[in-house]
Structure 1
């Protein structure tokens, strides 16, 4: 009986995707390892998790950096 009930369009149900925005900030992950990344290089805009990743980023060519950024969806290229 409840399946046949017509609900208002603006009323959220289990099957709708309408939800309020999250109060928790989005998590940021390293572009290289996928680990939680508390740091971001201001020059390349790549996120990194530790000093080893940062050191490896310093020797990357710009085309590889641009590929990492495009995978993340970052539009402004180096």
Structure 2
């Protein structure tokens, strides 16, 4: 009985066990992998109608999520903005340092951000 048990264990261990959660990624037989460079070359060489979308003509609609605001001084997420200088800041230490800045440095920070004043 022991010998039959051992022989059945040997045959089981020699066979690979298939686990469904360890399936390797395999392309389907009818699916051909093409890198982006090959796709772009194919689209450029074909005479496609103007209304047919390609990788380079697709336009996404504008995002509904508001843009994130970052501090002009540290680059951290900035929930606050100084109403006088229009600089964004993340914490009280940055606000204290902004109070002692000359106006030309403040204008440089605003120009880096792309802010144009209406004045």
Q: TM-score, normalized by length of structure 2?
A: 0.56
Q: 1:16-63 CA distances to partner (integer Å, 9 max, x unpaired)?
A: 351100011000000000000000000000000000000000000000
How far apart, in 1, do the equivalents of 2:50 and 2:85 lie?
45
**1:30–1:49 contact (8 Å) kept in structure 2:** yes
How far apart, in 1, do the equivalents of 2:91 and 2:67 lie?
20
Q: How many residues align?
A: 78
- List alignment gaps of at least 5 residues for structure 1: none
**Which structure's relative contact order is higher, taking Cα pairs within 8 Å and 6+ residues apart?**
1
**What's the RMSD between the two structures over aligned residues?**
2.4
Higher helix share: 2
Larger radius of gyration: 2
Query: Residue 108 of structure 2: SS of its match in structure 1?
Result: helix
- List alignment gaps of at least 5 residues for structure 2: 1-41
Alignment CA distance shift 1:25-1:7 (3 Å)? farther
